[in-house]
Chains A and B, each alone.
Chain A
Amino acid sequence: MPTAGRKSLTVALAGNANVGKSVVFNYLTGLHQHIGNWPGKTVEKAEGTLYFKGHTIDILDLPGIYSLSAFSIEERISREYIAIQKPDIVINIVDASALERNLFFTLQLLELETPMIVALNQVDVAEGKGISINVPELQKSLGVPVTPTIATRGTGLDKLLDKAVRIVKSKEKAKPARYGREIEEKIRRVTKLVEKIPIKYPPRWVAIKLLEGDEEIRGIVGGIDPKIVSATEKHARDLERIHGERCSTIITSERYNIANKISRGSQRITPPKGPTLTEKLDAVTTHPVLGYPVLVGVIFLTLLAVFTVGGHLSGFFEDVMEPVRGAFGGGAGELIGEGLLGGLIAGIAIVLPFILPFYLILTVLEDSGYLPRAAFIADSLMHKMGIHGKAFIPFILGYGCNVPACLGCRIMETERERTIAAFVVTLVPCAAVTVVVFGLVGAYVGIHWALSLYLLNLAMIFILGRVAFKVLPGEPMGLIMEMPPYRKPHARSVLKETWMRLKDFIYIAFPLIIIGSVVLTGLKVGGLLGPIGSAMSPVTVGWLGLPAIAGVLLIFGVLRKELTLVMLATLMGTANFATVLTPTQMIVFAIVVMYYIPCIATIAALVKELGWKKAAYITVFEIAFALLLGGIAFRLLTLV
């Protein structure tokens, strides 16, 4: 590092949640961080590299935070990173449409005394709210450079980077803002004490954190010199006597007063005539009564649209692909023709048609800002499962893919709530399951049956969520969430985001589909399918009433759930499933696929978030539950 490091710079992007950090990151690095219009998408810091005017620049996208108190893991990680790892410069991304709240965080960054620059982002949104900002004035009040940007259009970002590099060269550091006289006096005294001890954080910042009663900093300083901690406590007590409030509240209020003064001094607001887009939409989507039918409508329209569009696309692809399959046949040709090509054709004809519209709609939903509204509406329902409304966001994301949804459960504050939320999320039928439900039940039994399975699924999730709550009891944390304004989804970003997701999907799923198909055909040619199938037949045939081959399919489905259907098509050499399964079998099969075992990638995500033990419990439970439900469904369906 040191030799190459001469020209290499590190730049950290920091700021409140949902201000556009990841948009800036993606623009600069060409990478693909998750973007959407709800707070808390980036949960882990991401790194990327770019080359700019002869410099190698490492860029870091940090999770969004509102403060540098150690309230959440993200806050602790961010402050440690900025204060101790010391990036060459911090780019503070600020939402111009909520200046005061954003500056509250900027003031805290200034206290860390690193070189920094402010990107005044979302100026277009601010304009829409009738806010115009006087940049030179703001720059003067903050004492650090400010550059207006519109990240989604790339406006101002090159200039931002250019300025940032220049600041690094000039080695200018930010200077913290001053508080009121009494507080400043106390800070000065404590700073004097802190300056005498070796500590990696800036002394003034440590003094402020000590006065605020920050547990972590108190621990560190107390370990070096406990007298400083007790002296600070006395000062804090003095302040509390004067103000009649806790010292942390006094300092927070004071900081907000400064933020308020700066923002009032540098912005002019002419409230737009008539209600804004957000107000108009909120009148319906978070209406105390209408909000609920809207939520149900959104979910069902999504499913219906996916089914309709998917069905048409599927038929179209099949017609196009069918002649290709016929070209191979017999002997060694079978392995290639049936395995390789069959898998590929099935992947294109069965899987893509449903995945594509699904991803598109989910991306639009995510970008519009509807998800936080859904969380708001669903809060009281989620409380019945011992978690709060924010969990509804990963829940909806789970319909796309369970993996990011599991990781997204980190927006829940406690371990208990993360566990329940992640468990609930793994029960959500992802896009791959949708392929099976729509491609099989929807197409051959009827769309109302497919939709009923989704309804049943919602009911089961609710019941199992309540069971999980009973297993892990506790007072649910209350909901505290920012509601971002609605945004008209930007056509190009939506298409790009959908394409990126689709590409990820194709890169991961298609090799597996093809390899799986070849292995399966190999098993068939080798005569091994029979033995495997009959080994599992007590469960598959006896209990579930499925053909023996289902056992093999379910094993493949652990890799990816859509493989169950793709493999079936490969084996049968046709995508006309009516010839191999009865309607009852289709429904039972879809139910088992819906609930049994999270796929391998999801299990990995669970292990990462919750540890081995909980991941194993969830997996085993879901297998048992799927078999139970499938068996019951089989018996009920044969009754009627």
Chain B
Amino acid sequence: MITESTEEYLEAIYNLRERGDAATTTSVARELKVAPASVTQMLKKLAKRGYLKYTPYRGVTLTPKGEKTGKKILRKHRVMEKFLSNLGLPKSRLHRNACELEHHIPDDLERAIYQRVEGERPLPPGVPSNVVPLTSVLDGQKCVVSFIGGGWGASQRLADLGLTPRTEIKVVKSALFRGPLMVSVRGTTLAIGRGVAAKVFVKAE
């Protein structure tokens, strides 16, 4: 059984990496709003359990096992945020409540909620959902916008630029060093920073 705080850590580290920031004791501490000293301890513990590799003063890299958990929790977080936002909760509560819920939602329930949020009929049980953040789409690949993580200012801007649900888009290329993505949308080309792209969820074709 994975503890809630393990999940929190893995999620935070995964999120940092996806945004293009280095995961270090300081950045994880800032992300989770806890003291760096306790972060160091916890990271060591997680390293021992095989979730990550940790070199003091250098930083953290997730093992495949850690990455899987981190990615799953982050996904649940975003789905819950979107769901709560659809329920009409004020923006100030979205993040906090999603943070609590993400640890208690079983995978199949999350998928059901996601499909409800998507306005689609549920897929047959057991079919893995193919929704991924835009950052994990390969260069040159086409995909279809599913939803944009709720509760933040830039989501309306993205929609205004044409990234509305069910729009087909193409990742033209992505810059090195966790730089931005070049995406073609409705006959135009946009540059989208990696942190922003991580909140755009798409279905790969």
Asked if A69 is at the interface (CB within 8 A of a chain B CB), the reply is: yes
A381 CA to B164 CA in the complex, in Å?
29
A94 CA to B166 CA in the complex, in Å?
25
Contact A377 B190 (CB under 8 A): no
Closest Cβ of chain A to B114, distance in Å, is: 10
**Contacting residues, chain B, for A372 (C-beta < 8 A):** 191
96-122 of chain A: CB within 8 A of chain B: 97-101, 104
Chain A interface SS verdict (over half): helix
Contact B190 A481 (CB under 8 A): yes
Asked if B118 is at the interface (CB within 8 A of a chain A CB), the reply is: yes
Asked if B147 is at the interface (CB within 8 A of a chain A CB), the reply is: yes
* Residue picked from B117, B148, B166, B186, most chain A C-beta under 10 Å: B186
Closest Cβ of chain A to B88, distance in Å, is: 6
156-205 of chain B: CB within 8 A of chain A: 156-162, 164-167, 173-180, 182, 185-197
Q: Which of B147, B180, B195 contacts A245 (CB 8 A)?
A: B147
Asked if A10 is at the interface (CB within 8 A of a chain B CB), the reply is: no
A101 CA to B187 CA in the complex, in Å?
8
Q: Which of B21, B117, B164 contacts A256 (CB 8 A)?
A: B164
Which stretch of A26-34, A45-53, A247-255, A536-544 is in the interface? A247-255
Closest Cβ of chain B to A498, distance in Å, is: 28
Contact (A100, B157) CB under 8 Å given A376-B180, A389-B193: no
Contact A483 B20 (CB under 8 A): no
Asked if B85 is at the interface (CB within 8 A of a chain A CB), the reply is: yes
Chain B interface SS verdict (over half): mixed
How many residues on the B side are at the interface (Cβ–Cβ under 8 A)?
A: 47
Contact B20 A380 (CB under 8 A): yes
Asked if B133 is at the interface (CB within 8 A of a chain A CB), the reply is: no
Q: Which residue of B lies closest to A102 (CB)?
A: B188
Contact A291 B175 (CB under 8 A): yes
Closest Cβ of chain A to B157, distance in Å, is: 6
Closest Cβ of chain A to B16, distance in Å, is: 11
* Residue picked from A237, A372, A376, most chain B C-beta under 10 Å: A376
Contact B165 A245 (CB under 8 A): yes
378-400 of chain A: CB within 8 A of chain B: 379-381, 383, 388-389
Closest Cβ of chain B to A183, distance in Å, is: 14
**Contacting residues, chain A, for B191 (C-beta < 8 A):** 372, 375-376, 379, 389, 479-483
Asked if B97 is at the interface (CB within 8 A of a chain A CB), the reply is: no
**Contacting residues, chain A, for B159 (C-beta < 8 A):** 248-249, 252-253
Contact B187 A100 (CB under 8 A): yes
Contact (A256, B182) CB under 8 Å given A377-B175, A477-B154: no
Contact flags A276-289 to B (C-beta < 8 A → 1, else 0)? 00000000001111
A580 CA to B80 CA in the complex, in Å?
72
Closest Cβ of chain B to A506, distance in Å, is: 37
Asked if B38 is at the interface (CB within 8 A of a chain A CB), the reply is: no
Asked if A478 is at the interface (CB within 8 A of a chain B CB), the reply is: yes
Q: Which of A253, A286, A288, A483 contacts B165 (CB 8 A)?
A: A253
A476 CA to B194 CA in the complex, in Å?
12
Asked if A326 is at the interface (CB within 8 A of a chain B CB), the reply is: no
**Contacting residues, chain B, for A490 (C-beta < 8 A):** none
Asked if A201 is at the interface (CB within 8 A of a chain B CB), the reply is: no
A389 CA to B191 CA in the complex, in Å?
10
Closest Cβ of chain A to B4, distance in Å, is: 24
A389 CA to B193 CA in the complex, in Å?
8
A485 CA to B179 CA in the complex, in Å?
20
**Contacting residues, chain A, for B174 (C-beta < 8 A):** 288
Contact B88 A288 (CB under 8 A): no
Closest Cβ of chain B to A481, distance in Å, is: 5
A118 CA to B86 CA in the complex, in Å?
36
A240 CA to B189 CA in the complex, in Å?
30
Q: Which residue of A lies closest to B177 (CB)?
A: A380
How many residues on the A side are at the interface (Cβ–Cβ under 8 A)?
A: 48
Contact (A101, B186) CB under 8 Å given A237-B88, A246-B86: yes
Closest Cβ of chain B to A294, distance in Å, is: 13
A480 CA to B160 CA in the complex, in Å?
11
Contact B161 A286 (CB under 8 A): no
Contact (A480, B190) CB under 8 Å given A101-B162, A245-B147, A256-B162: yes
Q: Which of A66, A244, A253, A376 contacts B182 (CB 8 A)?
A: A376
Contact (A377, B179) CB under 8 Å given A101-B187, A483-B190: yes
Contact A379 B180 (CB under 8 A): yes
Contact flags A159-181 to B (C-beta < 8 A → 1, else 0)? 00000000000000000000000
35-92 of chain B: CB within 8 A of chain A: 85-86, 88
Q: Which of A101, A249, A375, A380 contacts B188 (CB 8 A)?
A: A101
Contact (A104, B162) CB under 8 Å given A286-B175, A375-B191, A479-B193: yes
A477 CA to B116 CA in the complex, in Å?
30
Asked if A67 is at the interface (CB within 8 A of a chain B CB), the reply is: yes
Contact B119 A243 (CB under 8 A): yes
A233 CA to B192 CA in the complex, in Å?
32
Contact (A71, B153) CB under 8 Å given A99-B187, A244-B116: yes
Q: Which residue of B lies closest to A476 (CB)?
A: B195
123-154 of chain B: CB within 8 A of chain A: 147-148, 150, 153-154
**Contacting residues, chain B, for A240 (C-beta < 8 A):** 86, 88
Q: Which of B118, B153, B175, B188 contacts A244 (CB 8 A)?
A: B118
Contact flags A256-289 to B (C-beta < 8 A → 1, else 0)? 1000100000000000000000000000001111
Contact A66 B189 (CB under 8 A): no
Q: List 8 A-B contacts (CB under 8 A).
A: A99-B187, A249-B159, A286-B175, A287-B173, A288-B174, A372-B191, A377-B175, A485-B189
Apart from A243-B119, A256-B162, what 7 extra A-B contacts exist at CB < 8 Å?
A: A252-B160, A252-B164, A379-B175, A380-B20, A380-B175, A380-B177, A480-B196
Q: Which residues does B use to contact A, with CB under 8 Å?
A: 20-21, 85-86, 88, 116-119, 147-148, 150, 153-154, 156-162, 164-167, 173-180, 182, 185-197
Would you list the 8 A-B pairs with minimal beta carbon distance, nearest first?
Answer: A244-B119, A478-B196, A479-B193, A478-B193, A67-B160, A380-B179, A253-B164, A380-B177
